Amino acid sequence: MTSLLVIIVLVLLAIALWQLTKIFDLTQVGADSNNSQIANDDDNNVQGYLMFGFLAFIYIFTIYGLIKWGHLVLHTPASEHGGEIDNLMNITWVLIFIVQTITQALLYYYAFKYRGKKEQKALYFSDNNKLEAIWSIIPAVVLAGLILYGLYAWTNIMFIDEEEDVMVVEVYAQQFKWTARYAGEDNVLGKANVRYIEGVNTLGVDLADPNAQDDIVVSELHIPKGKKVHFRFRSQDVLHSAYFPQFRAQMNCVPGMVTEFAFTPIYTTAEYREMAFMQEKVANINILRAKKSAELVAKGQPPLDPYSFDYLLLCNKICGSSHYNMQMKVVVDTPEEYKKWLSDKPLLVDEVKASLAPPAPVEGAKVIDSAKTDTAAVSKIAMK
Amino acid sequence: MSAEGHDHGHDHEHEHHHKDTFITKYIFSIDHKMIAKQYLLTGIVMGIIGVGMSMLFRMQLAWPEESFKIFNFLLGDKFAPDGVMTNDIYLALVTIHGTIMVFFVLTAALSGTFSNLLIPLQIGARDMASGFMNMISYWLFFLSSVIMICSLFVESGPASAGWTIYPPLSALPQAIGGSGAGMTLWLVSMAIFIASSLMGSLNYVVTVINLRTKGMSMTRLPLTIWAFFVTALIGIISFPVLLSAALLLIMDRSFGTSFFLSDIYIAGEVLHYQGGSPVLFEHLFWFLGHPEVYIVLLPALGITSEVIATNSRKPIFGYRAMIMSILAIAFLSTIVWGHHMFISGMNPFLGSVFTFTTLLIAIPSAVKAFNYITTLWKGNLQLNPAMLFSIGLVSTFITGGLTGIILGDSTLDINVHDTYFVVAHFHLVMGISALYGMFAGIYHWFPKMFGRMLNKNLGYVHFWVTAVCAYGVFFPMHFIGLAGLPRRYYTNTNFPLFDDLQNVNVLITMFALVGGAFQLVFLYNFFSSIFYGKRTIQNPWKSNTLEWTAPIEHIHGNWPGEIPHVYRWPYDYSKPGHDEDFVPQNIPMKEGEEVLHH
């Protein structure tokens, strides 16, 4: 029914258009037919005014967007370096707005002001080295400033100081989930390779490596506030991208290599939830969700859960069918909370031991299953 | 110049009056004007498919997982059971939309149509240097289009790893359905496409260098020709690299090599690949991929230069600066590819270098934009539809280009990489701009191609609705990108965090549907005008370039008798001392007339 309506509307629109052009054509009866499709003074006049109108449209749309959607944009970064990125971003935005406002105004205003008239004669003005120099040098100077600031910030963010006191965490990507590995007491991750994947050792950690003995594998990422976290990313299958929007951090996860990014969280999850803008955002989202829930319930489906804010790690590189749902909760704790949380997590070596010990019926099935693939993997390793 | 010798050869041939059959005239034609039309028609068909796909996936984004009969009708029971689009076909649509629009419409159809039509006509040549190679080029393009369309119908689905086809996703059928037969066809199609593109480009370069008519020095070439010439050069430099990437990927997929793959565990088993790197593929891909942006954009800018000068009745401002900036853009475009890979895991120091080279491109781009604006200043603007599209191009080129300063800056790219901000940026700066350039070219040279005029009022309607919708679609996208919304998500409903972006997505889709539907106005205008349009006069826009000195009826060899000689640059509009406000290039200088430009 809806599609029928849409078709009818489209057909009517087409007819209206056709009639409109017929009327336009009729107004030009008697004109030299060969020139009839070339803009005449009337056209220039109408189109000139429309050009001016379009300038207004762009401006109004921009202002409308800033008012209506401005609050959606990420702000208040939750990491130490995030402030630097946002600062550079704001400076860049100011420049962009100035240039955009001026150039669009000139473009459309000239299109309006100099719209063609029979008696008007264009100025023969072919070049002017001074003008060319001005608009080469000004952008060059402005860009030089942006480049220098940008590179300064980039160097600070990306080059991780090995001497610094950092906490090493591995983020491991696979279709379509994230896993984290903590380096434990020694703060050194055990070696790993997909060829070691076996049973509960889903990250392929080399269990013989002394550094691996205190590694802890978890499915929810907790990090302590105020401590620089050195993330090391791995992927077991395809490219993924670890995107932490609130922390202004992103790095691709590449099979066959380890990539890195480091940042220091500065607000705990609880603190970030308390912020006025976040409360407002969450309240707004919950209103939308309540509306949607009412619709769902009316259809006999279960309602949506109310939303409360959490930092997220998203996958931001197309990685397969369920790319759109590859996420992990990130929790920023106070250092004490963090210690407490980590203290009761089992070591990977113990988990592996437990899984190999007298099998419980359900788990046993899993072990046998994976044992098959293990031998395949091992024989392959033996081959090379 | 070798032009004279060449003339004689063709004049002689011309006298023979060889008869054309239907097949040699319309199908296996070696006439550049017919080949241009073939490219245009194929491009329009591909464009309908590409734009149509975008409307489908925009509907899914606005009304996620809702049932639409049209989905079921177009995608079938497998990919849209009960009218609900599946996630696999969503990714396939996004992938093929990108592929078709970037390569088949904005590369092949844009360059193919206008380089073929205009290079011989504007430089004063009888035809392309090799008409036969030109014909092969078109038919390879046609073949690659057919293969790409066939890939939509394979059982496991078309390629769906994104138009950038990064391995391992594109290499492993286990990773995603589309990486099976669909991906094989994609690669085969692209390999043929590249061969076609190279043949075309070589032809353009050789023709421009060798076949210019007497007096047509390089500094008297219209800017369109400069743009096509430089575009062809970039294509020759960068397309072979994509071909090698595609071939290596085929090796990895089918012959067990490990160029791009290493240490992979998928579907419960370890694969044998070792020592390759997906990052290598990214380098190879973007070594073409970034110049590709300019392969798409430069012809559009060239067309715009010509259309703006003609319709402003003014010389293009800063002709030499325009050429210099085209050359600078072309050179820089080949050394900036790494800005697509700031967070790919490559050494951050490389990122610094690429930030530097990338932001440099803003300088020649700014020069071009300011020169266009200055050309309008104190002009006598004839606001024909082609002119509107050209002004629109300058507008979107600025709007989209400015956000490039953010994306080109490695520091800022960290947080907007692969979000909708990127989608907004590149659609405005290369998608919409190049499309506007193509429309401007069609409206301007339709009389040259078909001997008839397009209806101007339909043209006006087409432009204004398109202009409003283009901003309506891509402007709000900046906001949702800055809110952190990743691109290529089938739906955002799994992230309550993004629930407040849904209204914006609905608005975007509305604009997209209206804008897409109004392209029918153009299609109607185009096809009906071919047969029923008003007949054109020889030089409807009172233009200076040589193509308008050729007869309206197309003939082999373009001009009956001698090829016109050229005595001046192409932008003598409203030159003091002349009665008319244009002086075509083939009019000799009057006694005592001075060259007023530098």
- Token pair of A97 as six digits: 């707005």
Whether B533 maps to a domain, the answer reads: yes
Q: Mutate which of B343, B374, B580 to test chain A, going by most A C-beta atoms within 10 A?
A: B343
On whether any CB of chain A is under 8 Å from the CB of B490, the answer is: yes
- Let me know if residue B272 belongs to a domain: no
Distance CA B221, CA B327 (A): 14
Per the CB < 8 Å rule, is A158 touching B351? yes
Partner B contacted by A176 (CB < 8 A):
no
pLDDT for the residue numbered A369: 45
* Predicted ipTM of the assembly: 0.93
In a domain, B378, yes or no: yes
Q: How many domains does chain B have?
A: 1
Q: Within an 8 Å CB–CB cutoff, is residue B276 touching chain A?
A: yes
Which residues of chain A have a pLDDT value below 50?
30, 32, 363-384
A19: chain B residues, CB-CB within 8 Å: none
User: What residue ranges in B435-585 does DSSP mark as E strands?
Assistant: none
**CA-based nearest distance B478→chain A, Å:** 9
**CB spacing of B175 vs A237 below 8 angstroms:** yes
Give percent above pLDDT 90 in chain B.
92
Interface of A with B in 268-297 (CB under 8 A): 281, 284-285, 288-289
Predicted local confidence at residue B12, as pLDDT = 46
pLDDT tens digits, residue range B95-148? 999 999 999 999 999 999 999 999 999 999 999 999 999 999 999 999 999 999
Domains, in order of start, for chain A: 167-271+307-383 (2.60.40.420)
Q: Given the DSSP bridges, would you call strands A167-174 and A229-235 parallel, antiparallel or unpaired?
A: parallel
- pLDDT, position B188: 95
- The dihedral of CA B210, B212, B214, B216: what is its sign? negative
Which residues on chain A are in Cβ contact (under 8 Å) with B535?
33-34
**Which positions in chain A touch B371 (Cβ < 8 Å)?**
132
Inspect the interface and report whether the beta carbons of A238 and B175 lie closer than 8 Å: yes
Tell me if chain A has a CB within 8 Å of the CB of B432. Answer: no
Verify whether the Cβ–Cβ distance B359 to A325 is below 8 Å. no
Residue A281 has what pLDDT? 95
Contact B370/A at CB under 8 A: yes
Minimal Cα–Cα distance from B106 to chain A, Å? Answer: 24
User: What is the Cα–Cα distance from B298 to B366, expressed in whole angstroms?
Assistant: 14
Q: Considering chain B, what is the average pLDDT of its residues?
A: 93
Partner-chain contact A73 B266, CB within 8 Å: no
The string of pLDDT tens digits covering residues B465-484 is 999 999 999 999 999 999 99
Question: Taking Cα atoms as reference points, which of B142, B148, B140 lies closest to residue B53?
Answer: B148
Whether residue A160 lies within 8 A of chain B, CB to CB, comes out as no
CB proximity A121 to B under 8 Å: yes
**Does a structural domain hold residue B569?**
no
Among A324, A373, A381, the residue to mutate for chain B (most B Cβ within 10 A) = A324
Amino acid of residue B66: E
B257 touches A: beta carbon within 8 Å: no
Helix (H) or strand (E) holding A327: strand A327-333
* Residues B360, B399, A72: CA angle, nearest 5 degrees: 110
Predicted pLDDT of residue A3: 66
Chain A residues closer than 8 Å to B316 by CB: 126
Does residue B13 have a pLDDT over 50?
no
Tell me if B131 is assigned to some domain. Answer: yes
Q: Give the A window 215-274 contacts with B, CB below 8 Å.
A: 233, 236-239, 241, 243, 245-246, 248-252, 254-257, 259
Q: Which residues of A touch B468 (CB under 8 A)?
A: 54, 57
Contact list in B for residue A175 (CB cut-off 8 A) is 175, 266
Question: Which of B383, B552, B571 would you mutate first to test chain A, the one with the most A CBs within 10 A?
Answer: B383
Cis peptide before A176 (omega within 30 of 0): yes
Chain A residues touching residue B484 (CB < 8 angstroms): 74, 243, 245-246, 314
- Characterize A306-327 residue by residue with b for buried, 16 or more Cβ atoms within 10 angstroms of its Cβ, and e for exposed: ebebbbbbbbbbbbbbbbbbbb
CB B473 within 8 A of CB A63: no
CA distance B513 to B510: 5
Nearest to B261 by CA among B275, B282, B251, B247: B275
Residues of chain A with Cβ-Cβ distance to B472 below 8 Å are 61
Q: Classify residue B302: in a domain, yes or no.
A: yes
> Does residue B419 sit at the A interface (CB-CB below 8 Å)?
yes
Q: Which of A348-352, B19-23, B183-187 has the weakest average pLDDT?
A: B19-23
The neighbouring-strand residues paired with A178 are A173
Residue at B81 is within a domain: yes
Range of the domain at B186: 3-262+279-549
A87 touching chain B per CB within 8 A: no
Tell me the pLDDT band of B348, cut-offs 50, 70 and 90.
very high
Distance from CA of B94 to the nearest CA of A (A): 11
The per-residue pLDDT for B265 is 95
Cβ distance of A34 and B492 shorter than 8 Å: no
Distance from CA of B178 to the nearest CA of A (A): 9
pLDDT attached to residue B107: 95
A contacts of B442 (beta carbons < 8 Å): none
Quote the minimal CA–CA distance from B145 to chain A in Å. 25
Cα B75 to Cα B80: distance, rounded to the nearest angstrom: 6
Q: Which residues of B touch A378 (CB under 8 A)?
A: none
Decide if B514 touches A, using CB distance below 8 A. no
- A 12-71 residues with CB < 8 A to B: 14, 17, 20-21, 24-25, 33-39, 43-44, 47-48, 50-51, 54, 57-58, 61-62, 65, 69-70
Indicate yes or no: CB of B376 within 8 angstroms of CB of A111.
yes
**Mean pLDDT computed over B528-546:** 93
Output the pLDDT for position A382. Answer: 40
CA distances from B323 to A351, B123, B497 (A): 68, 16, 48
Closest chain A residue to B272 measured between Cα atoms? A380
Distance CA A184, CA A167 (A): 9
* Whether A123 and B379 lie within 8 Å, measured CB to CB: yes
Closest B-chain CA to A54:
B468
Q: What is the CATH number of the domain that holds B465?
A: 1.20.210.10
Put simply, whether B217 touches A (Cβ < 8 Å) is no
Task: Among B378, B398, B409, select the one facing A100 at the smallest CB separation.
Answer: B398
Each residue of A58-87: b (16+ CB within 10 Å) or e?
beeebeebeeebeebbbeebbbbbbebbbe
Interface test with B, best of A124, A147, A231 (most B CBs within 10 A): A124
In a domain, B36, yes or no: yes
**Across residues B511-532, what is the average pLDDT?**
95
B27 pLDDT band, cuts 50/70/90, is confident
C-alpha span between A250 and A150 (Å, rounded): 17
Strands A177-182 and A216-218: what pairing? antiparallel
A81 → chain B, closest CA residue:
B411
- Of B409, B453, B464, nearest to A150 by CB-CB distance is B409
